[in-house]
């Protein structure tokens, strides 16, 4: 089994998330991509995040039509903020023989060196870093301390740059469709009374309307 994990606040989930998951699933031959909504995102304390039950419900609606997509509420079941390393280890306990690809955008990867026990994340799973409009990255040295970046070996890979960690796992940098969509932009559009049609799945748009979300 090879699976992808896509963590996020998903406030709300949008087409950019779904397209990223689909392209990486296809390119890496993943059996499944599991979406993991964050309970209390450690990186998003500056603004009010929508209640987890709504974010989870929208993500579940968004992935329902894709048999290769699944959703896991393991971070929502805990009262305290979840760190990715803990999520990965919890996941590993239940899926021992599975090859894990943790998918994240360059914007998220740029903060990676501030993540809890990030060195251990490298040994726990593969990372797939996807392109995103307005974010660029040429080498690991831009993100990681130089002495750590130097331990990775650059390898040829038709899917994109592959940096191999001494333990055998890899960090892939992969170009995906540039979709200029963010949850921030969706929230702003709803607040301003503008259409979000075709930026989120129909079911998500309907859910937002039905529950009067993001109006203020
Ligand atoms: P916000 O604007 O509130 O920060 P967001 O659109 O960045 O929301 P998140 O839930 O923060 O969404 O993102 C979860 C993951 O999905 C992150 O790794 C992020 O980089 C990635 N991601 C989000 N939008 C896109 C996109 N349009 N293209 C590629 N990756 C994306
Ligand atoms: Mg974000």
Residue 216 is predicted with a pLDDT of: 87
- Check if 10 has its Cβ closer than 6 Å to any atom of ligand 1: yes
Residue 45 is predicted with a pLDDT of: 62
The DSSP string of 45-68 is: -SSPPPPHHHHHHHHHHHHTT-TT
User: pLDDT tens, 5-18?
Assistant: 999 999 999 999 99
Under the banding of pLDDT at 50, 70 and 90, the label for residue 41 is: low
Domain 2-211 falls in which CATH fold?
Answer: Rossmann fold (3.40.50)
Kindly list the domain boundaries of the chain, sorted by start residue: 2-211
Q: Which ligand is nearest to the CA of 108?
A: 1
Is the entire prediction scored with pTM above 0.85? yes
Closest CA relative to residue 204, chosen from 73, 105, 60: 60
User: pLDDT tens, 89-145?
Assistant: 999 998 888 999 999 999 999 999 999 999 999 999 999 999 999 999 888 999 999
- Over pLDDT 90: what percentage of the chain? 88
- Check if 187 has its Cβ closer than 6 Å to any atom of ligand 1: no
């Amino acid at each position: 089994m090879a699976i992808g994990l896509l963590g996020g606040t998903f406030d709300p989930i949008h087409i950019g998330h779904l397209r990223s998951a689909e392209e990486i699933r296809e390119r890496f031959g993943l059996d499944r991509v599991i979406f993991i909504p964050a309970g209390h995102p450690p990186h998003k304390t500056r603004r009010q995040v929508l209640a987890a039950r709504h974010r989870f419900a929208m993500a579940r609606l968004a992935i329902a039509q894709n048999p290769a997509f699944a959703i896991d509420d393991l971070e929502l079941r805990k009262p305290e903020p979840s760190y990715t390393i803990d999520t990965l280890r919890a996941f590993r306990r239940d899926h021992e023989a599975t090859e894990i690809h943790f998918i994240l955008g360059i914007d998220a990867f740029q903060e990676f060196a501030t993540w809890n026990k990030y060195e251990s994340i490298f040994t726990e799973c593969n990372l797939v870093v996807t392109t995103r409009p307005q974010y660029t990255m040429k080498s690991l040295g831009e993100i990681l301390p130089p002495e750590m970046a130097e331990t990775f070996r650059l390898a040829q890979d038709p899917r994109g740059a592959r940096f191999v960690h001494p333990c055998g796992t890899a960090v892939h940098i992969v170009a995906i469709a540039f979709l200029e969509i963010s949850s921030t932009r969706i929230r702003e559009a709803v607040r301003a009374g503008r259409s979000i049609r075709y930026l989120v799945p129909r079911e998500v748009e309907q859910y937002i309307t039905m529950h009067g979300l993001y109006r203020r």
